[in-house]
């Protein structure tokens, strides 16, 4: 978005380390990330060891249409559970909960963090599940693979930015293609009508969000069959925004090339958005934003979303609403441009506004009314123009002496709160009541003779400022102090 970089930098919280600026020099170098290792197989009752240490486990199966979000059984593990083995010892059973996105005719769990497990085991898959399968992944230890190129010296600079392009977080673009190199989900573009908030149902307190994004990408693109990551944007708990769905051309790196995220999720040269795969049947014209984490009240890792993540979400939603002329408080008739189906939904809604799903978790969903209010405030502040101010007396180039009234005119689309008047930067006075104009009195006998600069700085109620300058010649002022020669 046009202001995304400025907004996200504003959203940085204490505790984030700001990297030192890097001076780019030398030829471009390959940016590499660990190749994603994966072991996908039908679910079995026994333990499943893998040839690599496991970072994440996901479980999914086919199900009759309309039952993707149903709780097939009561109890603490309605969708089954998984446990993990470390150093020969099994940990507790972890209930499976629904992924932040699920396609029609399929149920998928959120990815369970495995912390370098050596094996996993699954139990309690519902009887009606068809073709149940599990995938174990490692996105941190595989052989290094190229994920783009960066200017020389840029390898360690990515943490200095508050957004991540696909190359920045290490998307393996081969996952979007079949064995013949054909793109599995070619980009389609439509005008944005609504935005939908999700959670990813992954762990909270994530030590490596980029690795988690790579795992979600593999899970969505390959195992769930979407052909790409389902969301257009993802936000980690530090407020960093990640580019999601491929939009047809490589986006500018935020870390090494000065990108600001304006080219994420949109067709080059237009404001049309790329279609994702995050709300089955309601994707075209629907921008999906997912917070990394699990924000339910029960089961695996209950927690509230971090303030930095929510603040960044508000900033991003405000940018998208401004760009696409969306009213954050509105309920709209969404019309799928592909098939004409309609639905009354909030312009800023949650996944559960479309389907009977826990996503985005009750702890995040409950915050959406407040989020909409703050999005509207951010939009109002962004739309506010700075005040206009002009010094009206004395005139530019005038010669002045004695006591002079310095006056200014100031207007603003909200309200001018004050006008500060000064000579050569030294304050003459600050007028806070413009009913009779903005003015201050200047005794020129206290100023050195010669050319002096007058300034008027207006401040509006949004804190924005503007300044006007004029130059005048002081006659008969106090003599200028002359430095001795020699």
- pLDDT by residue (tens digit) across 219-241? 999 999 999 999 999 999 999 99
Q: How many CA atoms lie within 13 A of 175 on its CB side?
A: 28
- pLDDT by residue (tens digit) across 68-82? 665 555 678 889 999
**Could you give the CA distance from residue 441 to residue 428 in angstroms, rounded to a whole number?**
7
**Could you give the CA distance from residue 293 to residue 188 in angstroms, rounded to a whole number?**
28
Model's pTM, two decimal places? Answer: 0.76
* pLDDT cut 90: percent of the chain above it: 65
pLDDT band at 66 (very low <50, low <70, confident <90, very high): low
β 286-291/233-235 pair status: parallel
Residues 6 or more apart in contact with residue 408 via CB below 8 angstroms: 389, 390, 391, 392, 419, 421, 437, 438, 439, 456, 458, 468
Q: 96-110, 119-133, 310-324, 339-353: which range is least confident on average? A: 96-110
Residue with tokens 């978790």: 361
Average pLDDT on 274-301 reads 89
- pLDDT by residue (tens digit) across 470-486? 899 998 755 544 444 43
**Could you give the CA distance from residue 243 to residue 220 in angstroms, rounded to a whole number?**
15
Check residues 58 and 280 and name the one with the higher pLDDT: 58
Residue 313 pLDDT exceeds 90: yes
Q: How big is the chain by its Cα radius of gyration, in Å?
A: 29
Predicted pLDDT of residue 161: 66
Per the CB < 8 A criterion, the answer to whether 246 and 153 are in contact is no
Kindly state the greatest CA–CA separation across the chain. 101
Q: CA quadruple 221, 226, 232, 233: dihedral positive or negative?
A: negative
Beta bridge partners of 136: 39, 57
Q: 18-27, 175-184, 380-389: which range is least confident on average? A: 18-27
């Amino acid at each position: 978005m046009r202001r995304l970089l400025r907004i996200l930098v504003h959203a940085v919280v204490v505790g984030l380390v700001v990297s030192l600026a890097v001076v780019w020099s030398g030829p471009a170098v390959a940016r590499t990330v660990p190749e994603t290792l994966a072991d996908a197989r039908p679910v079995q009752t026994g333990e499943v060891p893998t040839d690599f240490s496991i970072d994440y486990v996901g479980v999914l199966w086919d199900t009759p249409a309309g039952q993707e979000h149903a709780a097939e059984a009561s109890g603490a593990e309605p969708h089954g559970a998984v446990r993990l083995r470390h150093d020969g010892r099994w940990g507790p059973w972890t209930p499976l909960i629904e992924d932040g996105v699920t396609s029609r005719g399929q149920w998928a769990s959120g990815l369970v963090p495995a912390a370098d497990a050596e094996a996993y085991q699954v139990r309690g898959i519902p009887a009606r599940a068809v073709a149940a399968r599990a995938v174990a992944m490692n996105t941190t230890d595989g052989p290094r693979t190229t994920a783009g190129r960066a200017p020389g010296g840029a390898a360690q600079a990515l943490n200095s930015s508050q957004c991540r392009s696909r190359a920045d977080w290490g998307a393996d673009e081969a996952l979007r293609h079949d064995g013949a190199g054909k793109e599995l989900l070619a980009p389609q573009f439509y005008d944005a009508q609504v935005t939908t908030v999700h959670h990813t149902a992954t762990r909270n307190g994530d030590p490596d969000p980029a690795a988690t994004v790579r795992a979600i990408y593999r899970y969505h693109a390959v195992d769930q069959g979407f052909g790409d990551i389902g969301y257009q944007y993802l936000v980690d708990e530090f407020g960093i925004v990640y580019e999601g769905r491929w939009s047809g051309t490589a986006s500018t790196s935020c870390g090494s090339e000065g990108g600001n995220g304006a080219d994420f999720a949109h067709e080059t040269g237009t404001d049309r958005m790329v279609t994702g795969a995050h709300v089955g049947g309601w994707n075209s014209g629907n921008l999906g934003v997912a917070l990394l984490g699990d924000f339910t009240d029960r089961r695996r890792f209950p927690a509230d979303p971090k303030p930095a993540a929510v603040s960044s979400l508000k900033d991003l939603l405000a940018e998208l609403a401004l760009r696409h002329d969306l009213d954050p408080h509105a309920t709209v008739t969404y019309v799928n441009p592909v098939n004409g189906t309609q639905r009354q939904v909030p312009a800023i809604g949650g996944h559960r506004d479309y389907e009977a799903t826990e996503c985005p978790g009750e702890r995040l969903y409950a915050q959406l009314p407040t989020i909409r209010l703050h999005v509207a405030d951010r939009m109002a502040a962004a739309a506010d123009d700075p005040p206009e101010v002009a010094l009206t007396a004395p005139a530019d180039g005038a010669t002045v002496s004695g006591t002079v009234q310095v006056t200014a005119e100031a207007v603003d689309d909200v309200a001018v709160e004050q006008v500060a008047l000064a000579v050569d930067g030294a304050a003459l006075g600050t007028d806070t009541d413009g009913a009779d104009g903005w003015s201050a009195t200047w005794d020129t006998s206290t100023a050195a003779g010669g050319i002096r600069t007058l300034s008027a700085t207006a401040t509006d109620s949004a804190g924005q400022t503007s300044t006007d300058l004029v130059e005048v010649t002081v006659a008969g002022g106090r003599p200028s102090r002359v430095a001795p020669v020699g």
